[in-house]
Each structure stands twice: as C-alpha cells, then as structure tokens.
Amino acid sequence: MTDRPALRRLGLLTPALATIAVLIGVPLALMFWISLLQKGDSGGVDWASAPSLGNYIRLVWEEDFDGTMIVNTSYLIILLRSVLQAAVTTGLCLLFGLPVALWMAGLSRGQREIMLLLITIPFWTNLLVRNYAWLIILREDGWLSQLVNSLSPVGPVQLLYNDLAVAIGLTYSFLPFMILPLYTVFEKFDWRLLEAAHDLGAPRRRALRRVVIPIAMPGIAAGSLLVFIPCLGAFVTPALLGGGKTLMLGNVIQMQFAASRNWPFGAALSVVLLALMLVVMVAMAIWRNRRVK
Amino acid sequence: MTDSSVVSITAVSKSFGRGTAAIRVLEDVSVEIGRREFFTLLGPSGCGKTTLLRLIAGFETADQGRIAIEGQDVTQTPPYHRPVNTVFQSYALFPHLTVEQNVGFALEEQRLPADKIRTRVGEALEMVRMQSFARRRPAELSGGQQQRVALARALAPRPKVLLLDEPLSALDLKLRKEMQIELKLLQAEAGITFLFVTHDQEEALTLSDRVAVMQGGRILQIGAPHDIYEAPTHRFVADFIGDINLIEAEALPGNTLQLAGGATLSVPHDARGKVTLAIRPERARIAAAGAGHLQARVVHTAYLGTALLHKLALADGGTFLLRQSNLDASPLAMGSSVGVSLPAENLRVLVQ
Ligand SMILES: Nc1ncnc2c1ncn2[C@@H]1O[C@H](COP(=O)(O)OP(=O)(O)OP(=O)(O)O)[C@@H](O)[C@H]1O
Ligand SMILES: [Mg+2]
C-alpha cells in the first residue's frame, strides 16, 4: 500500500517524461552519436563509419602534410572569442538593465505596465529584421555612424563589421532577458531595508553593494544566465553585424551544417558548446548553494 | 538649547505634496530631549509621530526649522552621518544576513577591526539575550526575537539617540508587556536616550520619563506621565489619556464656575465664558442623592477587580464615569440615584 502514491506520481509524470525523452533526449543522443561518425562522401553523415573521437581531436590538432599532428588554435580562438563576446554582452546588459529595472520598480502601477509592454514589443518583430535595422543604423551612411564621425576627434570610425557591432546587436537583442528577472526582484524589494542601511551608516553606494545587490542576486544570476547562454550560441547577429569576419561558435556550427556539409564535425562543435553551457550552469548552481549556506 | 539636551528640535514644519495639494503634517514643532531620557511621542494615528522621527533620523528634510543632535546642527545631514539609529516598526532586518551580521552591519560601516566587531556584536546580543541565535537568519526567528535583534542592531553602534517607531505594536499583549519592561531596563543599562513613538497611552505612561502628546501635527503638551495625566492643559490631552469626564461650564468672575445644571463651584481660574471642566472617574466623590454638584442615576457597573466603574446618566443628559474602590462599604446599586460632588482641587479647567 505504501508505494501507491509513488506509483501514481510516476503515472502522472509519464507524459512529461515522455515529452522530454522524445524532444530532448533522443535528439541529443543522436547529435552525440553523429559527432563520433565520419562525414559522408557527398556531405551529411556516413552512418556506416566506425565511431571515433576524430572530430573532437580535429578541434585542437590537425594533420600536417607529412602526417605529424600539429596544434591548430583557430577553433580554440573562436571558442574563447565566443565566451568573451557573451561575457561582455552579459556585462553590458547588466550595466544597462540594472538601472532600468531599478527605475521601473519605482514607477506607478500603470506606468510599470506600459514599460513592461514597451520592453516586450521588440519580440513581436523577427530577430533577423531587428538585426537588419541595426545594420542600417551602423553602416557608413547610417545616422549613428554619421553622428559619431561628425563628433569623432580621431577621424572616421567604422561602426559596422567588428566586435563592437556584434556586442551592440547582442546587447540590444538580449537586454529584455536581463531586465525582466531584475525587475521581478526589485518589484518585490522592501525599500525600507535601504533606509535601514542608511540609518546604520551606509551611504548610497555601500547600501547598494551590501543590501540591494545581494538581495537582488537571484535576479542577477537568472538574468545573466538567460543572456550568457543564448549569446554563446548566437549566429544571426555575428553573421550580419560582424560581417563574417568576426566569427562566433554559432557561426562555425551553422557553416558546418550548411556550407561545408560536415555534419559530424558540426555535431562535435555543438556538443562542446553544450558542455560549455552546462559547466557555466553547474558553476552557477554550486556558487548559489554556497551563498545560501 | 540647554546643556543637557541631546536632541533639540526648533520650530520644525513639514508638508507633503506641492502647491495646493500640500498637506501640513508638522506645524511649528519644538522639543528638547535630555540626556538618558526615555521620551515618548504619543498621539493618534496620522498625527505626524513617524514623520517627526524620520526627520530626526534624516529620511525626510524639514521645510522649516532646525534639528540639532548634541548641539550639532544636522538639519541638512544625510541619515548615514547622523549619530542616531532607528528600530523600525517592521524591524527591517536584512534577510540575507545572519543575526550577528545584522547586528555587526553598522560596526563594519565604521570600519572597526574584526575582533572588536565580534566583541561588540556579542555584547549587543547578550543585552537582548539572543546570543544563541547568532547564526540564524531573520526568517528563522519569531516576531519577538526579530524585535530583539532589531534592538541589538540599532544599539550596537552606540548611537547618541535611539529612535523607536512603535516597536512593540506587532507583538501580542503578553509579549508586549514583557518587552516594555525589557526596553526600560535596556535603556537604563545602555544609558542611551530613547525617543519612543506609540499611540498606546498606557505604554507611554508606563515607560516614559516625559511624554509629548501630539495632535494634527502639533505638540499640545510635554510633561512627565503624572503631569500629563493629572494636569492636562488641553481638552484633547485630557480625553486621549485615560478615562475622563468632561463637563461644560460657564466661567463667571470671582473664581466661580456655573454648571449647566445650575450648581456653582468655587475654583480658582482666569478663564472667561465657556470652559470645559475635566475630572478623572477616581477623583469624583459619591454624595447622597440630592446633594453634590450633579444628580445622576447608575445605568451600568463594570467590575474591574480592584474597583467598580459606574456609568452614570446625568439628570441634564450626558454620561459620567465614576470609579468606586472595592474597599468602599456600600457599593452603588444599579438603577439607584446618586449625587456626585466635584472637589475643587481635583478639577481641571480647560479652555480649549
Ligand atoms: N510620504 C508621504 N507623502 C504624503 N503624505 C504623507 C507621507 N508620509 C506621511 N504622510 C501623511 O502625513 C500624516 C502623518 O503621518 P505619520 O506617518 O507621521 O503619522 P503617525 O503619527 O506616525 O501615524 P501612525 O500612528 O498611524 O503611524 C498622515 O496624514 C500621512 O498621510
Ligand atoms: Mg507611524
């Protein structure tokens, strides 16, 4: 009799478990399997090839003309660039998102609802269209370029097709993912705690650091994850605004599946990307657990 | 400003809102609070007690007037540079910090060395008997325990003045009585000036060295509990504190007062025209029916343990409260007719 509730719980969970298995488990397993195989003669996958770690080895070493293995840093550099680009974007989103979220929390109810609507409106437009809009703003005859160049003391500045353009585009795309969790925290924030901090001798910045930020930490962590993780795999923005010169991991993966038609190598890159995200999330979870203790 | 006053508030006014929508919340308030005094602001809800406290703490700025602490003008000083600490009504403990971190918060702001902070936190927690809870978080404490931590946190930096905004109002009656005694002992032990806010007159009278009674943004009377109770200067103060009988009368020349019923009293006064006489239920005397200054009938009697509180219907309308000691040999019976005499020395003549 005692296992009846457990049994029933399992029964109720079955649909959810099945959905996860079919939609997430199977594709992941498939991707991992493909990453161990060889590319087919006319692209795609050679399903008959013997599984090996060759695709992962290719990420770091390549065979020289005489058959010796030499280190190839190009993929490692792209990996590092992607992490950096995602980190910078997360930082920028935090920098812009924190004051906005703080300000929004102080508005009246009606104003807050309008702000929430305004923040979600960009999502009604396709990501591609939004990135093209930035393309128009940032290119040489765009208004921002013209404005910057007319003020620039060091002569004409190129705004498009570089890391800066990608950072701008990514920050723009992902800012709402930072603002919304932060806003949720600040909306519930008990501002009397700020007064208590002042009362106990903490000036504005100290109170922010010792009281507001620590209490807002769950929101900051959630927002950072929501920005960092998708940034790491972003490929539309780097492709359009980076002009193909500044590749990120997402672009390389996309190229393997499309232009190069090397699915197994693309799959291996995807697995690496996934592993990277997993590491970030686990690190975050461990750090948060430590804080709570 | 006298030499011994710690807080000195001079002609302070404060309004909220601008232009025609502005509401005057404090009007020309002046108070001097002495060293080691337990001073209480007492008044009904909305009379401006919290606002006055927030002005002293520095969370609000006065429109007019001057606030000085230990002779130092702090009118424009931000809260984090004022030598006062607040015990908030909601406690406002930091939820992400442990009890000891909460208590040490201000000490860390003062950049004290770690070992010194540890001893001071220990002392503060010992004062409120919360040492064994040092590692807990506020969410893991009961209301009374949170209250103690809030007290320890505000006392740890050794402020010149401790501001307490209805710190006991969230506690149940029994705990509240206990905490009242503890507060009083704590104040004596810490030797710190307490500025206490309450709308509970009994609490104010029990705890305070002096009480300021406020109404509508003004301070009506400042005095020791005994003076406030026995010698109210305003009708509002008399009415607000304890049970009291208010009787309309006409002031005639020659130290004579004439009651509405026609009886006259001889009381020294310098009033003219309509006045209000105030007398406590325990200060009026029972007289034989037909004698005394007022004629009445007993309509209700409440048994208070040590005394009887009679509600009397006056012959000319209105009610009168009369307290009769339990030691009295002949308790008044319900429905019986009595006379009430008003001893001149127990009467207060109020103009307002
Ligand atoms: N920030 C504010 N803006 C506008 N009006 C305010 C503000 N703070 C207080 N008031 C008004 O000032 C008046 C006095 O408020 P205050 O909080 O000082 O009263 P109080 O005596 O502490 O009352 P209670 O016993 O209910 O706490 C009230 O009428 C209140 O509505
Ligand atoms: Mg109040």
Is residue A55 a part of any domain in this protein? Answer: no
Return the pLDDT at A2: 56
Between the two ends of chain B, the Cα-to-Cα distance in Å is 29
Is residue A280 a part of any domain in this protein? Answer: no
Is residue A245 a part of any domain in this protein? Answer: yes
Task: Look up residue A81 and give its two tokens.
Answer: 């660039």
Is residue A120 a part of any domain in this protein? Answer: yes
Is residue A240 a part of any domain in this protein? Answer: yes
What does DSSP assign to residue B336? -
Q: What is the pLDDT of residues A72-88, one digit of tens each?
A: 888 888 889 899 999 99
**Going by C-beta distance under 8 Å and a sequence separation of 6 or more, which residues neighbour residue A126?**
none
Residue B265: Cβ-neighbour burial (10 angstroms; 0-12, 13-18, 19+): buried
**Going by C-beta distance under 8 Å and a sequence separation of 6 or more, which residues neighbour residue B130?**
B99, B145, B148, B149, B152
Q: Is A292 on the interface with B (CB under 8 A)?
A: no
Local structure of A1: helix, strand or coil = coil
Is the CB of residue B34 less than 8 Å from the CB of residue B222? no
Is residue A1 a part of any domain in this protein? Answer: no
Looking at the whole model, is its pTM more than 0.95? no
Is residue A135 a part of any domain in this protein? Answer: yes
Return the pLDDT at B174: 84
Q: What is the pLDDT of residues B312-341, one digit of tens each?
A: 998 888 899 999 988 877 888 888 899 999
How many domains, chain A? 1
The identity of residue A293, as a single letter, is K
The mean predicted confidence, pLDDT, of chain A is: 88
| Ligand 1 centroid distance, CA of A108 (Å) | 20
Is residue A18 a part of any domain in this protein? Answer: no
Exposure b/e, B218-244, CB count within 10 A at least 16 = b: bbbbbbebeebbeebbbbbbbebbbeb
Does the CB atom of residue B59 touch ligand 1 within 6 A? no
Q: Which residues from A are below 8 Å from B124, CB to CB?
A: none
Radius of gyration of chain A (CA): 24
**Residue ranges, chain B, pLDDT below 50:** 1
Residue A175: Cβ-neighbour burial (10 angstroms; 0-12, 13-18, 19+): buried
Return the pLDDT at A151: 84
* Alpha carbon distances (Å) from A5 to A14, B23, B97, B141: 14, 62, 39, 34
Over residues A4-22, mean pLDDT: 87
What ipTM describes this predicted complex? 0.83
Give the CA diameter of chain B.
78
Q: Give the residues across from B73 on adjacent strands.
A: B68
**pLDDT band per the 50, 70, 90 thresholds, residue A11:** confident
Whichever domain contains A213, its CATH number is 1.10.3720.10
Identify from B56, B80, B110, B112 which residue to disrupt to test chain A contact, counting A C-beta atoms within 10 A and taking the largest count: B80
Q: Which residue has the higher pLDDT, A58 or B98?
A: B98
Is the CB of residue A55 less than 8 Å from the CB of residue A270? no
Radius of gyration of chain B (CA): 25
Return the pLDDT at B344: 87
A43, pLDDT greater than 80: no
The 3-class SS string of B276-326 reads EEEECCCCCEEECCCCCCEEEEEEEEEECCCEEEEEEEECCCCEEEEEEEC
A1, pLDDT greater than 60: no
| Ligand 2 centroid distance, CA of B49 (Å) | 6
Residues of the domain holding A105: 85-249
Return the pLDDT at B225: 94
A-chain residue closest to B96, CA distance: A215
Separation of CA B148 from chain center: 21
Q: Which residues from B are below 8 Å from A215, CB to CB?
A: 94-96
Q: Is B59 on the interface with A (CB under 8 A)?
A: yes
**Polymer length of chain B:** 352
Does the CB atom of residue B213 touch ligand 1 within 6 A? no
Q: What is the pLDDT of residues A237-292, one digit of tens each?
A: 888 888 777 678 888 888 888 888 888 999 999 999 999 889 988 988 888 787 66
Nearest ligand, CA of residue B25? 1
Return the pLDDT at A293: 58
| Inter-chain residue contact B96 with A214, CB threshold 8 Å | yes
**Going by C-beta distance under 8 Å and a sequence separation of 6 or more, which residues neighbour residue A57?**
none
| Inter-chain residue contact A196 with B96, CB threshold 8 Å | no
| Inter-chain residue contact B96 with A215, CB threshold 8 Å | yes
Task: Look up residue A225 and give its two tokens.
Answer: 């994850």
Q: What is the pLDDT of residues A109-137, one digit of tens each?
A: 999 999 999 998 888 888 889 888 888 88
Nearest beta carbon to residue B79 from set A199, A210, A211: A199
Q: Which residue has the higher pLDDT, B299 or A2?
A: B299
Q: Give the residues across from B15 on adjacent strands.
A: B24
Local structure of B76: helix, strand or coil = coil
Identify from A191, A200, A205 which residue to disrupt to test chain B contact, counting B C-beta atoms within 10 A and taking the largest count: A200
Q: Give the residues across from B66 on adjacent strands.
A: B10
Protein residue with least CA distance to atom 20, ligand 1: B46
